[in-house]
A and B are shown apart, each in its own frame.
Chain A
Amino acid sequence: MKPHPFDYVRADTVDEVVDILAEHSDAARVLAGGQSLLAMLNLRLLEPEVLIDINRIAELSEIREVGGKVEVGAAVTQNRLMVWPGVKEKLPLLAAALPFVGHFQTRNKGTVCGSVAHNDPSSEIPLSLALLQGEVVLRSHRGTRAVPAREFQVGMLTTARKPDEFVTAVRFPVQTTRRVAFREVARRHGDFAIIAVGAIADGTRVSFGVGGMAGRPAVREITAGGDLVDTINALAWELEGYEDQHASSRMRRDLLRRVGPAVIEEALQCAG
């Protein structure tokens, strides 16, 4: 289908974006890569009055390291972060997760921040951000604030972003361990994950993250040596797993029981 009519604004500066958002609030949407937004417009799931294109704002297309964090600007595509020279060394979890994000063709345009702002419960980048305890930088005419991932991610497609704010960057802490594992189950490589699972091992402690089960990514700290099967089974019951056309709750819980312990073991067995 075709989108409902809207006004198009191509912003040249962040201030212009902020001004238009202050004026139109909820009726305006920021267009970054558009790989989720334009699909939703085409399906008429969204009918914004104004679309603000931020792709030509130079200051938003940077990847830089600031104070032990890698800051990724709102116009940086997923494929650009994937080939960023520091990604394997500094963000090994993301290096493992990014190949699962959509397809080669959608990663060419889809942005890292757009995925975080969209907050699909099965998305790999929001899950990685939660696992790495990163933060989201929001800007409005009231100023700039950085919100921890756990506070930003409220629920299914819902975030702490106020209607007049937009995501200018996300910050991923540089990892101190390279012992990571990431896997997901999908109908076709690149499709929405039925479940996605990531793990970061540090000594005998493992940060374990699950996407695709609840409204937002779930992260738990697990100590190696306990009964993993029991721990993951309890987590599967706690998260329940939602129902959609791809899988039932029961299938999601079962997939987590099968994939979860394997991913934790994989991270623990990685060489540092």
Chain B
Amino acid sequence: MNAAIIAQLIVQLGPVALDLIPKLTAIWSKPELTVEEVRELCAPAKKSYDDYIAEARAMLARK
């Protein structure tokens, strides 16, 4: 993944790419990725459906 592709994703996808793409880029460009790091990066999968809804409610309430 290079700068040109990242720039294109930002143009194509808008603001959300600014959040997701850097994370994916970091994951795939790190020279080494340990088992511990993988475990940490997978932590969001532990969040329940209701956690996501609660986060969204809190975020929209702040706006």
Q: Do A and B interact?
A: no
Using a CB–CB cutoff of 8 Å, the interface residues on chain B facing chain A are none
